[in-house]
Structure 1
Amino acid sequence: MLVAVLLCGLVPWSVQSFADSGVPFLRFAWGGISFTPVLSARTLLEYLTLSGSPLLVPWIVATGCWLLAVASASLGLADREDPRVTSGLLVLAGAVNASVALRFGIQPLRTAYPLGTLALWAVAAWRYRAWTRDRPR
């Protein structure tokens, strides 16, 4: 389970583009990768110092929920994880991430595809389904 939750942090959480350039920006839990004008990467902390975008707060909240899900899943190594908590945190991270993508994408000449939301929700559903199947009755 821990590996699947960690892998959610490697998937681009959203692919964002501007109509005038068509070049995508990849937003991850940890930061972003831009291809314009040259390939560059910035951490989430760098974005905090550079921008006052209202999308930063929900981005941080989504990342925080994911990090808490990582912590919860890591408790599984000691057989102390509650999969409902891990799954719930992943669902929250996905929902907040979807709101970031939506708020970016509704602006004129912009699009955003929330790939991370799909990954987070898929892992949450997989883990929750496994828990409901395997729990003692």
Structure 2
Amino acid sequence: MASPLDRLPRPTPRRLLLAVLLCGVVPWSVQTFTDSSVPFLRFAWGGLSFAPVVYARTLVEYLSLSGSPLVVPWVIATGCWLLAVASAALAFVGREDPRVTAGLLVLAGAVNASVALRFGIQPLRTGYPVGTLALWAVAAWRYRDWTRA
């Protein structure tokens, strides 16, 4: 039985780096509050709020302003993703280890999922780990290609 990953193009260095970079563009989690229909989007780089106005705050700002225990794992997930970007960039010079790239993406996704789930267990809140799906999909694509080579 063929996997959907078998139909994807091979991860050339350019495709690989683009896919890993795009993981940082998608919202890592969509966080909703039951008393508001307006979501909060959390990215690798920071957060985007839509209430009462559209407001962006960087991860660095969250570090300096927040005492939330969710900020530290968020930083760890972002760090894993940045290391995956660096690992993917090494493919241009033939030095990338696909297991490292895929492993870092899996770790970033797992830590991101823990942040979204920990946010979601708080009263009147829900967190959807959208970015985890993107990170794991790219990791599976990269690892699957390596195992087929």
Q: TM-score, normalised by structure 1?
A: 0.97
Indicate which of 108, 111, 121 corresponds to 2:123: 108
Q: Secondary structure at the match of 1:89?
A: helix
Deviations 1:68-120 (A, max 9, x none): 00000000010110000000000000000000000000111101110000000
Segments of structure 2 that go 5 or more residues without pairing to the other structure are 1-15
Segments of structure 1 that go 5 or more residues without pairing to the other structure are none
Query: Aligned equivalents of 1:49 and 1:8: distance in 2?
Result: 25
Q: Secondary structure at the match of 2:63?
A: helix
Partner of 2:133: 118
Partner of 2:13: none
Answering whether residue 53 of structure 2 is matched by residue 33 of structure 1, we say: no
Identical aligned residues as a percent: 81
Q: Secondary structure at the match of 2:36?
A: coil
Partner of 1:11: 26
Structure 1 segments of 4+ aligned residues over 4 angstroms from their partners: none
Q: CA deviation at 1:22?
A: 2.0
Query: Aligned equivalents of 2:18 and 2:64: distance in 1?
Result: 31
How many pairs does the alignment contain? 134
Q: TM-score, normalised by structure 2?
A: 0.89
Q: CA deviation at 1:50?
A: 1.2
- What RMSD in Å do the two structures reach over aligned CA positions? 0.5
Query: Aligned equivalents of 2:101 and 2:91: distance in 1?
Result: 10
Query: Aligned equivalents of 1:75 and 1:106: distance in 2?
Result: 39
Output aligned runs, 1:73-112, within 5 Å: 73-112=88-127
